[in-house]
Structure 1
Amino acid sequence: MPIPLCGFIRRRNSSVNDQDEEKKKEKEKSIEQKLKKDKKLHALTHKIPVIGSGESGKSTLIKQMQILYINGFTKEERKEKVLPIRKNIRDGILSICCAMSKIDPPVSLGDPSLQPSYDYITTVVAHLDESSDYPEIFYQHAEKLWKDEGVQMCFKRANEYQLIDSAGYFLDKCSTVAQVDYLPDDQDILRCRVLTSGIFETIFNVGKVRFHMYDVGGQKYERRKWIQVRSNSHNLRFLPKEGDNRQASDAVTRSVSLFQVLHDVTAVIFVVACSSYDSTMRESAGENRLKESIELFGEMWDNRFLSNTSIILFLNKQDLFEDKILHGTTKLETYFPAFDKYKVSATAMKEANEPEMLCRAKCFVRDQFMAISNRNADNTRRCYPHYTTAVDTNNIKRVFADCQNMLQRVYMAKMNML
């Protein structure tokens, strides 16, 4: 008698369906767990573009993050900075020598016997291949000229021409940098000036919080890309986080649209060189650097893509600013007449615990930016000012620690958790 198969087939189909249902549930559970994990990870992640005019100290700030939170620089990375640092010496002494005859009134060499060194720098060095190292004789001429009284006089008038801030620092170390086995230390790397072109991303962890910090090129021709928020592609660099087995020199790159960088950011760090109040733009002669930074800040504050985003204001280069205000020959009121009648409260003076002139100057510059942020401030965004010296690791560590609590509060406010 044949065995009926219909019941068997029905039970088998039922078993298969049960297995499919179990797999489906397991998959849904896995997806749900991943979503929860991603949501938790997102809550512990801050995206922070670092924006500002050229030479304001943005890249230096990013380097400090690597020193503080990404185990510093590898030996290979230090070697890679040797040629750029030597180029800083070349650019520095060349800029000073070329400016001596152009500033008004002009400056002559204190020691006429150094004319051959001057001629070598202004003729031969000006045409040396920038991609290769410089001959030993270059450093000898540069060191002699740097000690000259006339060259020093021209250096003190650096606001009258274009000169990188680190020129004096590296010219003081000329003989050290010239050595064959020279390896830059942290301070050398922090002060090394290299033009930033494009957008570079640095990823690091502070405790359980992950930071994505974007170094955005600040020269005017670079800013056209990000002020208008076009979706052109830019290279981004990933540096290893704590515990990552990759070396920092093994950084990988990928292309991403600028819109992605500005999308869903926790806050923006805006960096301004306060010491630039008496200087003009490198790419736009005659335009005051600090005034241009104030204008740029206004553009960013009013940018529709950042309408709900708070800005952390880094009033940078306080070391150079203090030296100019207290000991320099240029007065802030010459470039900003309103400073002449600017007053600060007795309470602010007492809390500052510094010379009255310096306190007034710092508060005046800060208030130029705060006046913009106060125009249309609301509960969803604020401007948080900090006085910084980007080449000072301890200063940046302290300031960034203050910023972390603020960033968490900003994020929680965005999520309506406060």
Structure 2
Amino acid sequence: MATAMLTCSCCLRFKYSPEEIEQRHKSQQIDRMIERERQSFRRQVKLLLLGAGESGKSTFLKQMRIIHGMRFEPEAVKEYQQTIYQNLVRGMRVLVDARDKLGIPWQYESNSEAGEVVLRTDPNTISEPVPFARLSPLLQALWDDSGIRTAFQRRSEYQLSDSVEYFLDNLHRISRLDWVPSNQDILHARRATKGVVECVIPIRGVPFRFVDVGGQRSQRRKWFQRTNRLEESRNVFDTIVNHLAFGNVSVILFLNKTDLLIAKVRSGHTDIRSHFPQFTGDPRDPTDVQTFILSLFSSVVRRRRRSTGIGGREGEERTQPLFHHFTTAVDTENIKVVFGAVRDTILRRNLEALMLQ
């Protein structure tokens, strides 16, 4: 019997040529790789970032890279440098135009010419340090003029990127020929997301796939908008949260730019009651305003789902819970804490779903 087994083994050895054996070995390796990829894909946690333009989706994704140690490639840093130059020029063009349309006088009439130069400057032509350094003295003179500062204080009457103040306050540093954008500079850089951007980040051994969907709408900068940004964001949220495609998906609402909201509420320059007369709290109390804003969003949630019981049996119909966080996307420590809570919520709900299968 031992001889028969040995003979059989020899027959198998000579059944395939060395090339065929090598091909079979490679095929088995590919099959194992495919299976590993399949298992990895099943383990992935997918997060779809949706919202209105300039709501902070791309900034959140940049924060994920920074928090989890993924450095920005030199080519990306160079692109952000060009973006910041253009953000500064575009921002000042908006401010100069706003000062004129709002009828605000110059503090120094000599800055009228500087304003004209900036208005004639195509931001797309300012993408290198030397051209920007030549223009920066004009930008600084304009930013120091009380007429531009007054126009900036009235920015609620027109559309101005939130990052403009940060960059103008750092103009001297950014104007240096050896300046390289820091992580904080990159977080404030604003460029429209076109199409869909995906990024997979391993977090505690679990691959998280972030998908950033562009939210810019056409003709973004309009004067004296009929719909303010809060209303626009709520309308976008209404469309998303009540869509049938998301009926069985966990939704986490990020109410972003909390720092700007608190500053506005405390400054007294704006009153939420002028836009939402139904507000009954203290318009100078950030907590009252935040509670009201959250109610605006939670009130539009209409979607329901059928929960699945053990063994695949249908359970009772219930409302999908809505998780929320007040965030400041440019604040790394804030996002680190918030995402820690988000991560734990997602993993816990995924585990609950597996247990019910």
TM class by smaller structure: 0.7 to 0.9
Whole-Å Cα distance in 2 between the matches of residues 191 and 401 of structure 1? 22
The corresponding residue for 2:125 is 129
The equivalent position to 1:400 in structure 2, one of 329, 339, 344, is: 339
| Residues 373 and 382, structure 1, Cα contact 8 Å, conserved in 2 | no
- Counterpart mapping for 1:302-317 below 5 A: 302-317=242-257
Q: Aligned pair in 2 of structure 1 residues 395, 99: CA closer, same or farther (>3 Å)? A: same
Determine the structure 1 residue equivalent to 2:180: 183
Structure 2 residue 342 is the aligned partner of structure 1 residue 383: no
Secondary structure in 2 aligned to 1:369?
helix
- Comparing 370-379 with 295-304, greater Cα deviation is found at 370-379
1:364 aligns with 2:292: yes
CA displacement, residues 244-277 of structure 1 (integer Å, 9 cap, x when unaligned): xxxxxxxxxxxxxxxxxxxxxxxxxxxxxxxxxx
In structure 2, the CA distance between the partners of 1:206 and 1:114, relative to structure 1 (3 Å rule), is same
**Counterpart amino acid of 1:87?**
Q
| Contact 1:308/1:380, CA 8 A, preserved across alignment | no
- State the secondary structure of the residue aligned to 1:372: coil
Please state if 1:202 is matched with 2:202: no
Equivalent AA in structure 2 for residue 407 of structure 1: I
Quote the residue 2:157 is aligned against.
160
Equivalent runs, 1:7-406 vs 2, <5 Å: 37=36, 40-103=39-102, 106-122=103-119, 124-126=120-122, 129=125, 134-220=131-217, 282=221, 285-339=225-279, 341-342=280-281, 357-373=285-301, 376=304, 379=318, 381-406=320-345
RMSD: 3.3
1:286 to 1:130, Cα distance in 2 relative to 1, 3 A: farther
Q: Is the 8 A contact 1:97 1:118 kept in 2?
A: yes
1:31, 1:193 → 2: CA distance? Answer: 42
5+ residue gaps, structure 2: 306-316
- Measure, in 2, the Cα distance between the counterparts of 1:289 and 1:298: 14
| Contact map agreement 1:281 1:287 (CA 8 A) in 2 | no
Shift of 1:300: 0.8
Quote the Cα distance in structure 1 between the aligned partners of 2:76 and 2:325: 30
Deviation at 1:287, TM superposition (A): 2.1
Contact 1:309 1:380 in 2 (8 A): no
- 1:410 maps to which residue? 349
Deviation, structure 1 residue 74: 3.8
Deviations 1:152-196 (A, max 9, x none): 000011111221101111111112111111101111000000111
Deviations 1:286-316 (A, max 9, x none): 2222112111111111212111111110010
Q: Is the 8 Å Cα contact of residues 44 and 208 (structure 1) preserved in structure 2? A: no
User: How many Å apart are 1:39 and its aligned residue?
Assistant: 6.5
Q: Would the aligned equivalents of 1:187 and 1:391 in 2 still touch at CA under 8 Å?
A: yes
1:372: Cα distance to partner?
Answer: 2.2
In structure 2, the residue matched to 1:261 is: none
Give the letter for the 2:80 counterpart.
K
Match of 1:5 in 2: none
What amino acid is the match of 1:84?
Answer: T
Counterpart amino acid of residue 309 in structure 1: V
- The corresponding residue for 1:260 is none
Change (3 A) 1:135 1:413: closer
For residues 31 and 101 of structure 1, the distance between their equivalents in structure 2, rounded to whole angstroms, comes to: 66
| SS class of match (1:414) | helix
TM-score by length of 2: 0.82
CA shift, 1:363, in A, is 0.9
The number of residues matched between the two structures is: 331
Q: Tell me: CA distance 1:148–1:326, structure 2 relative to 1, closer, same or farther (3 Å).
A: same
Name the CA distance, whole Å, in 2 between partners of 1:177 and 1:331.
Answer: 35
Task: Tell me, yes or no, if the aligned pair for 2:81 and 2:180 is still in contact at 8 Å.
Answer: yes
Please give the alpha-carbon distance, in whole angstroms, between the structure 2 residues aligned to 1:356 and 1:148: 29
Report the Cα offset of residue 400 of structure 1. Answer: 0.4
Q: How far 1:411 moved relative to its partner?
A: 1.7
The 1:381/1:107 distance shift into structure 2, 3 A limit, reads: same
Write the deviation string for residues 191-222 of structure 1: whole angstroms up to 9, x where unpaired: 0001111000011011111100011100135x
Question: What SS is found at the alignment partner of 1:212?
Answer: strand
Label 1:38 to 1:113 Cα distance change in 2 as closer, same or farther (>3 A). closer
**Is the Cα contact below 8 Å between 2:158 and 2:222 reproduced in 1?**
no
Distance 2:157 2:76 in 1: 34
Q: TM-score, normalised by structure 1?
A: 0.71
Are residues 100 and 91 of structure 1, via their aligned partners in 2, closer, same or farther at CA, if it must alter by over 3 Å?
Answer: same
Amino acid at match of 2:339: F
Say if 1:380 and 1:413, in contact at 8 Å, map to a contact too: no
- For 2:244 and 2:268, the matched residues in 1 are separated by 40
The structure-2 alpha-carbon separation of the partners of 1:135 and 1:356, relative to structure 1 and needing over 3 Å to count, comes to closer
